[in-house]
Amino acid sequence: MITALKQLYEQNHTGEVRALKKAYEQHAEDCAQAAELTVDAGRREVYLTLARQWTEAAAALQMTPITGDAFI
């Protein structure tokens, strides 16, 4: 679900892995908070799925080299 947004962010944040990771973590937090506030069970599941996907995307960035063999 987040593929298009990830592609856009990655194009606009080339070389800014830490900023990108922070943005992904913020999206995950926002989705989790929205899930807590949502009454509809179906929407809650969608928000939780999005939160998980953003968390996984942020975690994947931890393994992305910044320069040479340095990782965040």
Are the beta carbons of 69 and 18 closer than 8 angstroms? no
Q: Where are the domains of the chain?
A: 17-61
Neighbours of 23 (CB within 10 A): 20
Q: What is the pLDDT, as a whole number, of residue 64?
A: 62
Average pLDDT for 53-63: 89
What's the pTM? 0.78
pLDDT score of 69 more than 50: no
**Can you tell me which residue has the tokens 């995950």?**
28
Q: At 8, which helix (H) or strand (E)?
A: helix 3-12
- Burial class from Cβ neighbours inside 10 Å (0-12, 13-18, 19+) for residue 8 reads exposed
Quick one: tokens of 41? 């069970």
Q: What is the pLDDT, as a whole number, of residue 71?
A: 44
Q: What is the pLDDT, as a whole number, of residue 16?
A: 80
Angle CA 5–7–11, to nearest 5: 120
Tens-place pLDDT, residues 12-51: 776 788 888 999 999 999 999 999 999 999 999 999 999 9
